[in-house]
Amino acid sequence: MWYVIIYEVALLGLGFHLLHGFFQRSQDTGCISSQICEAGKNCGVDIHHHHYCRFYGHACLHLLNQRIMILDAKIPEGNLADKWDNYKAHAKLVNPANRKKLDIIVVGTGLAGASCAASLAEQGYNVKTFCFQDSPRRAHSVAAQGGVNAAKNYKNDGDSVYRMFYDTIKGGDFRSREANVYRLAECSAALIDLAVAQGVPFAREYGGYLNNRSFGGVQVSRTFYARGQTGQQLLLGAYQAMMRQESLGRVKSYSRHEMLELVVADGKAVGIITRDLVTGEIERHAANAVVLATGGYGKIYYLSTLAMGCNSSAIWRAHKKGAHMAGVSWIQFHPTCLPQSGEHQSKLTLMSESLRNDGRIWVPGKAGDDRQPVDIPEEERDYYLERRYPAFGNLSPRDISSRAAKERIDAGYGIGPMKNAVYLDFSKAIKEQGKEKIKEKYGNLFTMYQKINGVSAYEQPMLISPAAHFTMGGLWVDYQLMTTIPGLFALGEANFSDHGANRLGANSLLQACVDGYFIAPYTIPNYLADELKLKKTDIDHPAFEEAEATVRKQLQDFLQHKGTLSADHFHKTLGKLLYDKCGLSRSRESLTEAIATIKQLKASFSKDLKITGDNKNNSELEKAGRIADYLELGELMCYDALAREESCGAHFREEYQTPEGEAIRNDEEFCFVSAWEWKGSNNDPEMHKEPLVFENVQLTVRSYK
């Protein structure tokens, strides 16, 4: 089992005064003192794993006979640097002759999905891949611009695996697992070697060595890049590896197919129900294991950097079948995006964080200053990141940079037609390095900016603004990337595992590739080794019939709605509500209002939705299902943000800040991962906790000053 159910035992050895005192002191905490840990031992709870000693101690303090679920991350024993090697050394294997007997479904063919499919097919497994795009090459990984991190220390500037691990833990505001983050840093160097072998055209110095640049939240240069197209180039490498396996008959690709239901039988994931988006046909697919690599849910805000098709439906349908969702309200707003220009827009445009290496961010020193930027003298400009965070300046982490921009905009210092932007200025860099050098570094980004805005960023500062971009939350997974449903794995942005409450730039491509190329090829066979002894569930099983019936009923219900409002109407309304109430900042009042309003939106959606067309090639029908999932997910986001009464990373509760506007984290009560269980459409979700235990870093106030 992937979680441990502990029923309380009578505390005969402890007096009521001790129980009461401990309870008052540690109510609902994740980080528990060693004194309480001893209390747990005295309670008679058998502690098999030191990672959970603290939490077991706390469990003993709850009321007698209360049912407590403790999520077991299954972290290997040993020193931090040895855990992944220990896991690999003891993982179960499948004989090469037996691999061809096992089937694996991979949903999503971006970097995480394509790399996973290629790697498992290379081992000899039968793999089916599914994507709703017309080609795997159109997965949203293609949109990542700036780079991918790796601890290779090519610049000889003090980088190391441990430093990258610490930067990532700190960048996530100490809300991620040590073991997972260290493994991410540990595998990073091998990824660069693999990508180079695939032919990924990373930027190089004059002598031929791979070049590096720096990203936010670090003080070394560890980001490898291919101009502003790093995601596209890495995806082409993974795609060609996957298509090689398709040509060998080990991968079967299903494009223009959307997963609409996870099939669970005997407590395990055994397949999926899909819909052919061209014909409307409903299909059943069975497998010994299912992998979800479908990306994040930032498009829930409607205006975001994500493509219009990006959605949460695969992970949300899995959630409703029993997979817990973790860190749901941890949403990253990217600080360097093009600002909204009107109500006509359906998405926002990302400008790479790499621009902050040479660009300086500022606003006029006087609120409401309408002068052209070239007419504002240097002494009348406020370089607010350099002023507030001198140690990191314009390369401060994304959550901090985005909140600082919002603070200036809200205070009346915003610029542009809608007064919703700040300047990103390259005049100093051009003066010092020359236009050609800047063009060499960022030429395609400057060209893109000019095509969109009609302005040359070589001559005038760019206008930028924060926008919803990345979701640190996702399906809860253990160290093996398995969800709370055995046989269901989640990779890349679809899971919550590596970034804590805030992701550092250039770690997204890294996680997707590491999960697919280096982790899943060990952990999935470890699960499949035991499946060989069991008969595979076929598509005639009652679980498939039930799942298909659920899908057909929902689609039919959508088509029978006789309302007057489109799915886009509900998406826009929800997106604006979440941005205002559960966006860059949130409060108890705003979150409570948002939950009540979302309940009303859900009720309106069920009776006022209008779907045109039939059940075949119908984009409106596709959107209806995705928006229905977004409405439920948006409600859970607000519950999660409401329950976490602290400010950490991208989760900024207005009630918990210093007089200077910095976040106040509460390690005494909230040093845990919130993992939510679906309890039904008309019931509130139930929160479970995975305690975070830090044995290799010291919890400190996160400062970039």
Mark whether 409 and 458 lie in a shared domain.
yes
Which pLDDT score is estimated for 228? 86
Check whether 20 has a pLDDT greater than 50.
Answer: no
Answer whether residue 52 shows pLDDT above 70: no
DSSP code, position 140: G
92-120 average pLDDT score: 98
User: CA 78 to CA 107: how far, in whole Å?
Assistant: 34
What pLDDT, on a 0 to 100 scale, did the predictor assign at position 482? 98
Q: Which of 531, 553, 580 is the last residue of a domain?
A: 531
More confident call, 629 vs 8: 629
| Contact call for residues 482 and 523 (beta carbons, < 8 A) | yes
Q: List residues bridging with 688 in a β-sheet.
A: 675
If asked whether residues 131 and 271 sit together in one domain, one would say yes
Q: Tell me the C-alpha to C-alpha distance, in Å, between residue 13 and each of 42, 43, 60, 357.
A: 7, 7, 12, 61
pLDDT digits (tens, 9 = 90+) for 546-568: 999 999 999 999 999 999 999 99
The reply to whether 278 and 129 lie within a common domain is yes
Q: Please tell me the predicted confidence (pLDDT) of residue 137.
A: 94
**CATH number for position 347:** 3.90.700.10
Mean pLDDT on 42-62 = 31
> 271 in a domain, yes or no?
yes
CATH number of the domain to which 634 belongs: 1.20.58.100
**Residue 56 in this model has a pLDDT that exceeds 90:** no
Residues whose CB is less than 8 angstroms from the CB of residue 567 and which lie 6 or more positions away in sequence, other chains included: 609, 611, 620, 623, 624, 626, 627
188-220: pLDDT as tens digits: 999 999 999 999 999 999 999 999 999 999 999
Q: Are 370 and 359 within 8 A, CB to CB?
A: no
Number of domains in the chain: 3
Q: How confident is the model at residue 70 (pLDDT cuts 50, 70, 90)?
A: confident
| Domain hosting residue 382, numbered range | 335-468
Residues 6+ positions from 165 with CB-CB distance below 8 Å: 178, 181, 182, 184, 185, 186
Q: What is the per-residue pLDDT across 334-356, written as a single tens digit (0 to 9) for each? A: 999 999 998 889 999 999 999 99
Count of Cβ atoms closer than 10 Å to residue 321 Cβ = 17
Is 60 exceeded by the pLDDT of residue 23? Answer: no
Residue pair 60/41 in contact (Cβ under 8 Å)? The answer is no
Mean pLDDT of the chain: 90
Q: How confident is the model at residue 67 (pLDDT cuts 50, 70, 90)?
A: very low
CA distance 418 to 343: 11
Same domain, yes or no: 464 and 495: no
- Is residue 396 included in any domain, yes or no? yes
In a domain, 590, yes or no: yes
Confidence of residue 227 (pLDDT cuts 50, 70, 90): confident
Residue 409 within a domain? yes
User: Which residue is associated with the tokens 């046909």?
Assistant: 281
Residues 162 and 202 in one domain: yes
* 387 and 435 fall within a common domain: yes
The last residue of a domain, from among 413, 442, 468: 468
For residues 2 and 253, give the distance between their C-alpha atoms in angstroms, rounded to a whole number.
30
Q: Tens of pLDDT along 479-511?
A: 999 999 999 999 999 999 999 999 999 999 999
Whether the predicted pLDDT of 36 surpasses 60: no
Domain identity same for 351 and 306: no
Please check the confidence at residue 16 and state whether its pLDDT lies above 90.
no
Q: Most distant CA pair in the chain: distance in Å?
A: 77
Answer yes or no: do 296 and 245 share one domain.
Answer: yes
Distance CA 208, CA 638 (A): 50
pLDDT of 45 reads 28
- My answer on whether 513 and 387 are in the same domain is no
25-42 average pLDDT score? 33
Closest-CA residue to 113 (of 209, 208, 16, 251): 251
Residues 6+ apart with CB under 8 A from 2: 72, 74, 478, 482, 483, 484, 485, 486
> What's the mean pLDDT in 72-94?
97
Mean pLDDT, residues 70-97: 96
In single-letter form, the type of residue at position 364 comes to P
In a domain, 29, yes or no: no
Where residue 100 sits, what CATH number does that domain have? 3.50.50.60
Annotated catalytic sites, by residue? 398
Kindly give the pairing relationship between strand 282-286 and strand 289-292: unpaired
In this prediction, residues 2-7 reach a mean pLDDT of 36
CA distance 500 to 650: 9
Mean pLDDT of 528-533: 95
Residue bearing tokens 């000899």: 124
Indicate whether 159 and 304 sit together in one domain: yes
Q: Give the SS3 label for residue 552.
A: helix
Surface-to-core class of residue 676, CB atoms within 10 Å of its CB (0-12 exposed, 13-18 middle, 19+ buried): buried
Answer whether residue 601 is part of any domain. yes
Q: How many CB atoms sit inside 10 A of residue 557's CB? A: 14
Contact 438, 458 (CB under 8 A): yes
Left, alpha or beta for 685 (phi > 0: left; psi -120 to 50: alpha)?
beta
In a domain, 233, yes or no: yes
Same domain, 285 and 314: yes
Judge whether 682 lies within some domain. Answer: no
pLDDT over threshold 90, residue 61: no
Judge if 479 and 453 occupy the same domain: no
Percentage above 90 pLDDT, the chain? 88
Question: Does the model's pTM come out above 0.85?
Answer: yes
